[in-house]
């Protein structure tokens, strides 16, 4: 079970979670997806804990117990600073241990962006993006994209349905686990949607320059072949373009929520194996 803490970032209070192993060998900092919250990864983090890995997470703005309008996770420059705060908190708690930044879905989009543009992007020893939002399986019509773009200028925190219905979750066991959880929602602000689309497109087209050295760090991509929310084809294309520093791990027949359901334990075990590869190398600490 996690311990909660308060993470202060850019004048906002964010609800944090920590799962402390007795004698940790490494640390994971975890970013969740749309409509989720950090505590939803309790089983996953407890599994990592059993392997000697401490995990730190927080509820993104507009999610769970964090401040902000429900579904409004932006602007992106502020979200990157929130990730700075999480990494700093984890580093101060375990200054001698390697940190791996792990992002799922929207969190994967943020982690991949952070790897190239985050102020502390050289701190993690490696990055893992699971089911990353690089392209959606159901393309957004151009008229809707331009409508969202116009709305984001006028009222950036206006929220719409994220469109992730039960039919897209694709696994009855996962759906049952999520049903009735009052902290899970289906809202996304127009600015969050716009910035996520644009950063995904920038990442796919190689338009984001590496600012602080994070792009030199190993990257692991994990994606289920039965994902009906985020496109595995986009992840394959991104991995092919990323070169030798990037490793793609495909999970045959698995859906979007890799960390949950029947495949959850296997994904956790593989994640632990990846993280523990970096128990010795370190990035520089925060300034």
What's the average model confidence in pLDDT over 20-28? 97
Q: Is the pLDDT of residue 164 over 70?
A: no
Q: Is the pTM of this model over 0.85?
A: yes
pLDDT score, position 214: 98
Q: Is the pLDDT of residue 161 over 90?
A: no
Lowest-confidence range among 61-65, 158-162, 202-206, 219-223? 158-162
156 contacts 191 by C-beta, under 8 angstroms: yes
pLDDT tens for each residue of 133-148: 999 999 889 999 999 9
What's the average model confidence in pLDDT over 276-283? 73
Structure tokens that stand for 267 in this block: 């994904």
Q: Is the pLDDT of residue 176 over 80?
A: no
Domains contained in the chain, CATH given: 3-276 (3.40.50.1820)
Q: Is the pLDDT of residue 281 over 50?
A: no
Q: Is the pLDDT of residue 37 over 80?
A: yes
Distance, CA of 98 to CA of 241 (rounded, Å):
27
240 or 285, greater pLDDT: 240
Distance, CA of 49 to CA of 160 (rounded, Å):
36
């Amino acid at each position: 079970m996690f311990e909660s803490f308060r993470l202060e970032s850019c004048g906002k209070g964010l609800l944090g979670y920590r799962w402390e192993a007795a004698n940790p060998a490494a640390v994971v900092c975890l970013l969740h997806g749309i409509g989720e919250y950090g505590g939803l990864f309790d089983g996953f983090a407890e599994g990592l804990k059993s392997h000697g890995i401490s995990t730190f997470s927080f509820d993104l703005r507009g999610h769970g117990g964090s401040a902000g309008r429900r579904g409004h996770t932006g602007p992106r420059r502020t979200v990157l600073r929130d990730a700075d705060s999480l990494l700093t908190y984890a580093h101060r708690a375990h200054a001698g241990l390697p940190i791996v930044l792990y992002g799922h879905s929207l969190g994967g989009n943020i982690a991949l962006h952070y790897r190239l543009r985050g102020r502390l992007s050289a701190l993690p020893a490696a990055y893992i993006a699971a089911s990353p939002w690089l392209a959606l399986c159901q393309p957004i019509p151009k008229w809707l994209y331009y409508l969202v773009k116009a709305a984001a200028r006028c009222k950036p925190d206006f929220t719409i349905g994220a469109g992730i219905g039960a039919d897209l979750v694709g696994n009855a066991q996962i759906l049952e686990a999520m049903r009735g959880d009052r902290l899970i929602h289906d809202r996304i602000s127009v600015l969050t949607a716009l910035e996520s689309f644009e950063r995904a497109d920038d990442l796919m087209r190689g338009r984001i320059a590496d600012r602080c050295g994070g792009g030199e760090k190993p990257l692991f991509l994990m994606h289920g072949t039965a994902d009906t929310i985020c496109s595995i084809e986009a992840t394959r294309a991104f991995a092919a373009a990323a070169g030798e520093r990037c490793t793609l791990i495909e999970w045959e027949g698995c859906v979007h929520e890799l960390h949950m359901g029947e495949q959850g334990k296997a994904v956790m075990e593989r994640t632990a194996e990846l993280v523990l590869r970096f128990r010795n190398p370190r990035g520089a600490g925060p300034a």
